[in-house]
Every structure is written in structure tokens, then in C-alpha cells.
Structure 1
Amino acid sequence: MSVRQTPLTCHGHTRPVVHLAFSGITDKGYYVMSACKDGKPMLRYGDTGDWIGTFEGHKGAVWGVALNYDGTRAATGAADFSAKIWDARSGHEEHAFQHNHIVKSVAFNPQGNLLVTGSNEKIIRIFDLQRPDAEPAKMMGHESNLRHCEFYTENIIVSCSDDKTIRLWDVTSAQEIRKLEFPNIVSDIEVSTQNRLLTLTHGNTVAFWNLDNLSLIKEFEVPTQIHSASLKPDKSIFVCGGEDFKLYKYDFDTGIELEAFKGHFGPVHCVRFSPDAELYASGSEDGTLRLWQTTVGKNYGLWKCVQAPSDLDKPGDAEG
């Protein structure tokens, strides 16, 4: 019996899905959140894609989303010049942080009491969620729009920008620590605290850097312009996607392509492994979020083995 990849397709968005984020594993499983240009970020159960709720309140495209570890709090950044904090259980807005330009990125620190934002003002801001009305710390130095900001530790932030740089920042002093320059815009970064690694994409390249000394570990060329990549926590494989609509899976040690699946009907903007690494999620220009099995054919979530070429056992879509 042969098996094939059958992604779960999560409908509900009406415009491109540009970012996604997972929670950690809780006693109720884990969650996934999607950012969309329709301005209505959605929360779902991470292992099935089943819709939980939609956060209503932004007046423009939502570019970035984040969940705290236990999935009780969500953050969003949008084209309406605001970042918002939400109660993820009720969907109620807890606080809005006004900016002076489009907010592209939001992320919680490991403890979940700080929020970092990156905007088209070229400014990184850190908000204390225990004192939401206090003036945020600001870090300046990027020469173009921010794309992504992530906490590496409680005291170190990693950022990337349209100025073709990666920068590390000290939270306490609000000063730049290190800067890396690239030949292309860095489109995505993924910070792995467990492996002390930074996964990044630029042009047709997926690269892995040691975050402690900012040394290049390895990099691989991919057959298309890549927008996003994610490393499996055990460092056995990584997945990536970009302009040619495909999701690629590679061996991390050798760089050998293991699989390539085409399920989306538009460029892939974001891809991330789930916290248990049993699946990876992707968001696309086609307006869908899709969930893919890491080990094709494994009995997990809504999946079961599918005999090729029959479609009789195909899992149903997860409607939003």
C-alpha cells in the first residue's frame, strides 16, 4: 500500500493568509492562529484545524499574530497602525497599542508578560503587559520596514527588515548587539530556543545560524523564491514554501529533498511546525491555511492512511 500527502484545508479567510503562529502544548492540546489581509485573524485547534473563533476589531489587514504558550492570550499587528492583545478564550480585546504606521510583527516573550512589535516606522517597541499604559521601550537602527521580531531569550530580541539585515538587540539597554547583512531581503525568521538556532529565508536560500555567536551552520538553495521555513525541533528535517505554490521537505543534515507537495493555489507566505512536530501548517495567497502530516500516513488527528489512487478516504475540510 502506498500513501500520499493529503492536507487538511482550513477555509474561512477571504484574502491571503500571511502569517501563522502555534501555542505550546496544553492540557487541551494546542492551537494555531492565522493572520490574513481580510483583517480577521482566526484561532483553531492545531491538530485538526477546527475553527474556534475570529478576532473582530481591526480595520485593516492583519500582518502578524502570536499566541502565548498556553494559548490563553493572543496578539495581532495590523495595517490600522495598531497592535492588539486579546483574551483568546473569550475573543475580547484586552488592549490596543497605537503606532504611527503599519504593524507587521508581534511576539510574546517566553514568560508572556512582554510584547515586542515591529512596524513600518522602522522602530521596535517592547510593551510591558502588566503596565499596558506605560511608555514602551524603543529600539531604533533598522533603515527600512520591519518584517519580523522574535524573542530569543528574555533579554535578547532578533529582528529582520527590508534593509536586508538581521539584528540582535539587548532588551535591558534597548541597544543593538550584532548585525548581519544579506544580499536579499530576509523574508522570514524562526527562533529555536531549544536548539539555539535561527532559521531564515532570503531569495532562494534557507539558512541556519548559531544564535549564540551568529555563525553560519549551513544553508541550502531551493528551486524557487522561498518566503518561509521551519526546522523540526529534533533537527532531522526542515520544511519551506514560496512562489511556486509547493511545500518542500528537506533532510537537515544532507540538504536532500525528501518530498515536495503542491496543494495551495497561490504562493506560500508562511510555514511552521506544530509544537509536537506531528504536522506543519502553511498559509497562502489563496486564502487558506493548510495542515500537512510530517510523517505521511501516520494515524494522527483527522488523518488516516489513504490508498492511492482512491480518494475515498480523503479527510474532510476544516471549515471556518
Structure 2
Amino acid sequence: MDKKKVVAPLVCHGHSRPVVDLYYSPITPDGFFLVSASKGRFHTNVEKWRDWRLDWNLSGHKGAVWSCCLDKHALRAASASADFSAKLWDALTGDVLHSFEHKHIVRACAFSEDTHLLLTGGMEKVLRIFDLNRPDAPPREIEKSPGSVRTLAWLHSDQTILGSCTDMGGVRLWDVRTGTIVRTLETKSSVTSAEVSQDGRYITTADGSTVKFWDANHFGLVKSYDMPCIMESASLEPKFGNKFIAGGEDMWVHVFDFHTGAEIGCNKGHHGPVHCVRFSPGGESYASGSEDGTIRIWQTGPEQDSCAANGPSQNIKDVVNEVTNQMRNVLIAEEEKTGTE
């Protein structure tokens, strides 16, 4: 398969520190949304994008934001931070709805499919489930993770939880009803990215220089591909499932054929390691977040040839400039308020 020419990406500036997590909402009546998180010593941002325009800069954490997510209606956002808290946000106004205090760094968060629960985990090795209908109530705690929690996700209509650790290989599966670990998907290296496909068929994991695909119902290994470098994140195309993307230490976003593992594209542009990649819910584009503090939106499809030759349209350039100016103003205001650099 011939490699496609690379489309000039839409570059979203604004984060003052490395972008470490990205999350797309499902398609809603108002379109789909992207929320992003970054780490920083003094101030961090979680931002939500609609049609690639900045809607809200959610400022409130006092430490790095390691994880972020949106509920399926894109009405609420959640974030997990190094300041020992997870926060619930109103995605329409940017207001903090609740802060869930923890005893150590929180690395992961996830809304349940029914949107009533928020799952968190981190350095405490404890998985907590908060009832969002009673946010002040004590959370339910289930069987401890054997290591510091890196990623979390819900499966099987909120009946199963999958999680990976920062300090050991494998993906563990908890039965929510019993609160116990019932299975482990074995990997040699620590799993830095675990994504459940939109149709619920596959679990995509990145561990070291390998990307794997697992059957999300029977948990058998479907495919395993060796990568050209250590990959931090991978994502399966949601509409046809015929390709996947991966990004890591070489600063590129690679596109691979799902059936053969052959590389069919390579997007260059980031100036630091790529920490996170995600396909949009319709598969027409995908986003990458990097150590360089930028998010890049890459288009998929045959229109890549003309886009690569001509560069981004003037409309796209205008949107980029508008977003950049908005974010610059936000950062200046934050810096003046906090006295940080």
C-alpha cells in the first residue's frame, strides 16, 4: 500500500506545558468535543474544543493534570491531577462542580457509560468510584491495584473496569459487582495507553515498542505489532477499523494498516515526544498531543493529497490565529494572577 501524502495539520497552541492526555466525546447534537490536559509546575490547563475553537480554559488545579475525560453528552468534564484531587467541571460554563480529594497523585479518571459515576485511580493504588448524584458521599473503593494506576476505562455497560499500572506490565480487569480483579492481559512492558474501541469490540494497548489489540469480550490477543520506536499511545480508527495511529518518542504520528501492521503514513511536525493520540468519533481526523505543548489535528482520507500540496486553507489559518490569540490572553492573565513564568 502506497503511503499517502501528509495533510498540513491544524496546530492548536495554548498549553504552557506538555500535553499528556486527549479525549474525544461521542458525536452529540452540537457536534463532538475534544478535551485536553497538560502538566505544569505552577499552572495547568484543561481545555475543551468545539469545531477547533477554544470554548473553555478550565483552570483550577494546582499541579499537573494527568488525565481528562468528557461524559457521553459532553455536558461535564473530569480531570485528574498531581494536586491530589480529581475535579468535575460544567463543560458548558467552565465552572468547577465538585472537587474529589485524594491522598496522593491522581493519574486517571473515567465517566461511566450511564454518566452517573466517576472512576479515579493513581499513586495510592486504590480505585475509587464516586456517585455523581451524591458527590459528597464517600466513594466506593474496590480491590487495590498491584501498582500505581496509569490508565482506566469502563467496559460492558459499566460492569467491568480495565486499568494499567505505571510500574509493571499487564492490563487488569475488575468485576464491578464483586470489586475484584478477575483477569490480567499480559504484556512485557508497562501499558501507557489503553483504549476501548467505539463499537466495543477491541481494546487497543501501547506497551513499550508494541501495539496490541485484544478481544474486548473474550480477552484473547487478536493482533500484536512491533513498532519502529517506543510508543506511548495508540488509537484504532472507529468507523471502519482498518487503520490505527501511534505516537511516541520519535516525535512522529504513525499510521498503520490494522490487518497487516504495515506503515501507511507518517506525520511529522511535533518538536517533542508524542504523549497521546486519539481518533475523532467519526474517524475523519485524529489528534496528537506532545511534549512541545501543542495539539495537532490531522485529517484522514483521500483529500490529503491536495491539502499537503496547498497547505491549510485561509479559514483554517484564521481559526488557528484566533485560538492562539485567545490562549495567549488566557495564559498572560493566569501568569499575572499566579506570579508564575
What TM-score, normalized to structure 2? 0.87
Aligned length: 311
Cα distance in 2 between the residues matched to 1:240 and 1:258: 12
Cα distance in 1 between the residues matched to 2:308 and 2:260: 30
- Read off the aligned partner of 1:290 and give its amino acid letter: R
Secondary structure at the aligned position of 1:183 is classed as strand
Q: Percent identity?
A: 42
What's the offset of the Cα at 1:296? 5.0
Q: Deviations over 1:134-166 (max 9, x none)?
A: 221112342221001100121111100122121
What's the offset of the Cα at 1:173? 1.7
Q: How does 1:94-243 map to 2 (within 5 A)?
A: 94-153=97-156, 154-162=158-166, 163-192=168-197, 194-233=199-238, 234-243=240-249
- Report if aligned partners of 2:112, 2:118 keep a CA contact under 8 Å in 1: yes
What's the offset of the Cα at 1:180? 2.5
Cα distance in 2 between the residues matched to 1:313 and 1:88: 29
What's the offset of the Cα at 1:169? 0.7
- Read off the aligned partner of 1:126 and give its amino acid letter: I
5+ residue gaps, structure 1, are 299-303
Q: Does 1:58 align with 2:64?
A: no
Cα distance in 2 between the residues matched to 1:160 and 1:246: 24
Q: Deviations over 1:79-124 (max 9, x none)?
A: 0000010100011111111111111011101111111111110111
Cα distance in 1 between the residues matched to 2:152 and 2:12: 26
What's the offset of the Cα at 1:133? 1.5
Cα distance in 2 between the residues matched to 1:255 and 1:307: 24
Q: Deviations over 1:267-297 (max 9, x none)?
A: 0000011011110011100001110112152
Q: How does 1:258-297 map to 2 (within 5 A)?
A: 258-295=264-301, 297=303
1:17 corresponds, among 16, 19, 31, to 19
**2:337 alignment partner in structure 1:** none
Stretch of structure 1 that moved more, 223-232 or 208-217: 208-217
Cα distance in 1 between the residues matched to 2:302 and 2:269: 14
Cα distance in 1 between the residues matched to 2:254 and 2:27: 25
Cα distance in 2 between the residues matched to 1:307 and 1:102: 42
RMSD: 1.7
- Read off the aligned partner of 2:190 and give its amino acid letter: I
What's the offset of the Cα at 1:254? 1.1
**1:248 alignment partner in structure 2:** 254
- Report if aligned partners of 2:13, 2:294 keep a CA contact under 8 Å in 1: yes
- Report if aligned partners of 1:106, 1:118 keep a CA contact under 8 Å in 2: yes
- Report if aligned partners of 2:189, 2:208 keep a CA contact under 8 Å in 1: yes
Give the direction of change, closer, same or farther, for the CA distance of 1:4–1:296 in structure 2 (3 Å limit).
farther
Give the direction of change, closer, same or farther, for the CA distance of 1:173–1:312 in structure 2 (3 Å limit).
closer
Cα distance in 2 between the residues matched to 1:239 and 1:80: 31
Stretch of structure 1 that moved more, 172-181 or 201-210: 172-181
- Read off the aligned partner of 1:278 and give its amino acid letter: E
Higher helix share: 2
- Read off the aligned partner of 1:222 and give its amino acid letter: M
Q: Does 1:74 align with 2:83?
A: no
Secondary structure at the aligned position of 2:217 is classed as coil
**2:307 alignment partner in structure 1:** 306
Secondary structure at the aligned position of 2:23 is classed as strand
What's the offset of the Cα at 1:256? 1.1
**2:49 alignment partner in structure 1:** 44
Q: Does 1:83 align with 2:86?
A: yes
Give the direction of change, closer, same or farther, for the CA distance of 1:253–1:105 in structure 2 (3 Å limit).
same
Cα distance in 1 between the residues matched to 2:215 and 2:311: 44
Cα distance in 2 between the residues matched to 1:307 and 1:36: 29
- Report if aligned partners of 2:86, 2:99 keep a CA contact under 8 Å in 1: yes
What TM-score, normalized to structure 1? 0.93
Q: Deviations over 1:214-233 (max 9, x none)?
A: 11000111111000000012
- Report if aligned partners of 1:4, 1:297 keep a CA contact under 8 Å in 2: no
Cα distance in 1 between the residues matched to 2:307 and 2:287: 20
